[in-house]
Structure 1
Amino acid sequence: MLTLLMLGDSLVEWGDWSRHLPEVAVINRGIAGEMTEELSVRLMDEIEACPNPDAVLIQSGTNNLLFGYMLFPTMLITMLQRLRLCYPGIPLIVNSLMPMPIVAPQDLEEVNRELARAAAATENCHFLDTVRPFQEHCLPITHPGFLNDQVHLSTRGYQVWAATIKGLLKQLFPDTLPG
């Protein structure tokens, strides 16, 4: 079974990954309320605790963006460099920030552009765009992707996110995941 180390905030922590990605062994290392700089501080401990994942996904910056701290993608670059040194050859995945209704669309676009650039500058690193899938599969009234706080994901939001993750993992590991 494919092992995916997921690093991030409450969106990672509160995911029922065994339900949404049953064919993947997810090591859930999300911490609610965490800012990107806090993830950076604990990164080496996480690497030591999980020495052999097949892939690493980082979803971080939600809380930074909510507090107006737009420079966190720069911090992510150094984190990706450390991950690449410690996990040579395995795919790294930078998850875009979700299209939270509470965030100005232009701020979200700017941050996601920077996250995509950080991923592109790192060998074997992939940017996972979740904005388009949310726009296509989450409808505000009938299939909302977010809870009433407009930040945390609904069951539908987790389903869409998990399907997006699985789609990329199928591309990266075509012989490992079932069709």
Structure 2
Amino acid sequence: MTRKKSLLMLGDSLVEWGDWDTLLPDLAVISRGRAGELCETLSARLFDEIDSVREPDCILLMSGTNNLLMGSPHFTAIFQTLLPRLTLLCGKSTVFVNSILPMTAPGMTKEAVAAVNRELCVTAEGSGCRFLDMTAPFTEQCLPITRPCFLSDGVHLSTLGYQVWAGEIRKCCLAL
């Protein structure tokens, strides 16, 4: 019997509220999401989270949504110190930085999300990590009225949103 690849997911409510055992049954998921979390608090708890688990095959970081919603688009600078620490602590793990999802929250523009995602991509790749851009999958598979990927708040995911996201995560982790 082959061992399932392990995936450590770190982030905010989008990570916390996912039913990952159902969504990713072919991966051993360790979910460490915290509702309302900001990048700076994730950075502060990073060592404790890594220390509490056996080194995973994949690590996915989903952080920054709350920073952006609170009007702080410069959270990407935190990733510049967080990612090198993470790769040092987990040198055998493949680290994925998840893009900010194409939210439809009031006051959030596609341009603001795209600008932050460009910075996250550059930072991830500059740190030897991979960038998981969810813009195209959400744009292609979700429709606002007939196939919504977001709940009415425009931030949190519907069942379909989680399925789309999980499908992309699965592809990345199982391809390793």
Moved beyond 3 Å, runs of 4+: none
Deviations 1:119-169 (A, max 9, x none): 11012x110010110000011111100000110000000000000111112
Question: For residue 117 of structure 2, what is the aligned residue in structure 1?
Answer: 112
2:15 matched to 1:12? yes
Question: For residue 126 of structure 2, what is the aligned residue in structure 1?
Answer: 121
Measure how far apart 1:86 and its partner are: 0.6
CA distance in 1 between counterparts of 2:92 and 2:22 reads: 28
When normalised by structure 1's length, the TM-score is: 0.93
CA distance in 2 between counterparts of 1:83 and 1:37 reads: 14
Does the residue aligned with 1:112 lie in a helix, a strand or coil? helix
2:33 matched to 1:36? no
Question: Where in structure 2 are the equivalents of 1:20-99 lying within 5 Å?
Answer: 20-99=23-102
2:158 matched to 1:157? no
Does the residue aligned with 1:4 lie in a helix, a strand or coil? strand
Contact kept in structure 1, 2:55 and 2:93, CA below 8 Å:
no
Does the residue aligned with 1:68 lie in a helix, a strand or coil? coil
RMSD between aligned residues? 0.8
Q: What amino acid sits opposite 2:124 in the alignment?
A: A
CA distance in 2 between counterparts of 1:35 and 1:127 reads: 19
Count, aligned residues: 171
Does the residue aligned with 1:26 lie in a helix, a strand or coil? strand
Deviations 1:42-62 (A, max 9, x none): 011001111311111000000
Structure 2: gaps of 5 or more residues: none
Q: Report the more deviating stretch, 48-57 or 37-46.
A: 48-57
Sequence identity percentage? 52
Structure 1: gaps of 5 or more residues: 173-179
